Structure 1
Amino acid sequence: MATNAQVTERPGRWPATDVLARTTLGVATAAVVGSAATTPGSGWYRRLRKPRFQPPAAAFPVAWTLLYADLAVTSALALENAPDERYAERVQRALAANLVLNAGWSWVFFRAHRLGAATVTAAALTASSADLTRRVAAADPRGRALAAYPAWCAFATVLSAALWHRNRR
């Protein structure tokens, strides 16, 4: 982690390799854990009544890959350019909580088949993503690029709610 003196001397620098490696490892772990539970080809998922605004299945891996890459890079920027160690620790905690929610949604939705709980999890992920984006952008203005992440999570919340509503038993 950089000290205040280093931040002052080199504002807006790119993250050190070890910082980027740590954020990439965390994001990749969440992606793998979430993907392990994701089964869009399952009979249960195929039988769900889906809303008209449901994107094609191919859109999800593309969107999530881009968002995960953005999350790893912008979080590394925030950690490297944080004003102090305490702020960096808050960003790390916010990122960790966000990644748990992110991976957890797939388990709640695809494995537990709990559409209501998945909607609540998606809403919590949206709030967490918005908070993380705020923290990341405050540490480094390039972090504003993360704004697509809470927007996508908000869409996922609406989609989860629509699936829940259409498939209540």
Structure 2
Amino acid sequence: MLAATVVAVLGGTITDLGPWYESLNKPAFTPPRPIFPIAWTTIFALAALAGVSAWRAAPNVRISDTVIGLFALNGFLNVLWSLLFFRLQRPDWAFVELLLLWLSIAGLIVYCLRLSRTAALLLVPYLAWVSAAGTLNWFVVQLNAPFG
């Protein structure tokens, strides 16, 4: 739970919804601003529960360490996306990185499914949300390129 909180706080502090973000052309289907913190809070809570569930279901230390490593990699990729998009103001790079983030979530679901069906199911909303975020990211790139 602590690790999910750290990732959420880091991502939140990197996210800057200031003048640069406000000036971007965004697609009409962009959710209202208040949806984002609600969605991310829910997703991080579910991911934390998934991590605990998978970790507890691990039959040995090697597999429990792998669970921790996969979740740590995913947390790193999550924070990196915010850094690329908001701090470096490179939605184009962020979109490419988001593909890695999406693959890490899909990989977590597959790995966790072998240990705990509950853990895998708890990660499905995360994959869905990042899929939606990827669509938004893609449209931001298309509507505002070039960057840098």
TM over 0.5: yes
Off by >6 Å, runs of 4+ in structure 1: none
2:75 alignment partner in structure 1: 99
* 1:55-90 residue CA offsets vs partner (Å, 9 max, x unmatched): 111110000000000000111010011132222222
Q: In the alignment, is residue 151 of structure 1 matched against residue 128 of structure 2?
A: yes
Q: In the alignment, is residue 160 of structure 1 matched against residue 137 of structure 2?
A: yes
1:59 alignment partner in structure 2: 35
2:6 alignment partner in structure 1: 29
| Consecutive unaligned residues in structure 2, runs of 5 or more | none
2:45 alignment partner in structure 1: 69
- The offset of 1:106, in angstroms, is 0.9
The CA distance in 2 between the partners of 1:56 and 1:124, in whole Å, is 26
Contact 1:37 1:110 in 2 (8 A): yes
- The offset of 1:25, in angstroms, is 1.1
The CA distance in 1 between the partners of 2:87 and 2:141, in whole Å, is 15
The CA distance in 1 between the partners of 2:144 and 2:15, in whole Å, is 19
TM-score by length of 1: 0.82
The CA distance in 2 between the partners of 1:25 and 1:158, in whole Å, is 29
- The offset of 1:122, in angstroms, is 1.4
SS of structure 1 residue aligned to 2:29:
coil
Contact 2:30 2:136 in 1 (8 A): yes
Contact 2:49 2:122 in 1 (8 A): no
1:140 alignment partner in structure 2: 116
* 1:29-49 residue CA offsets vs partner (Å, 9 max, x unmatched): 111111111112x11011100
| Cα RMSD for the two superposed structures | 1.0
Identity %: 33
- The offset of 1:153, in angstroms, is 0.9
| Consecutive unaligned residues in structure 1, runs of 5 or more | 1-23
TM-score by length of 2: 0.93
The CA distance in 2 between the partners of 1:86 and 1:104, in whole Å, is 27
Say which one has the larger Rg: 1
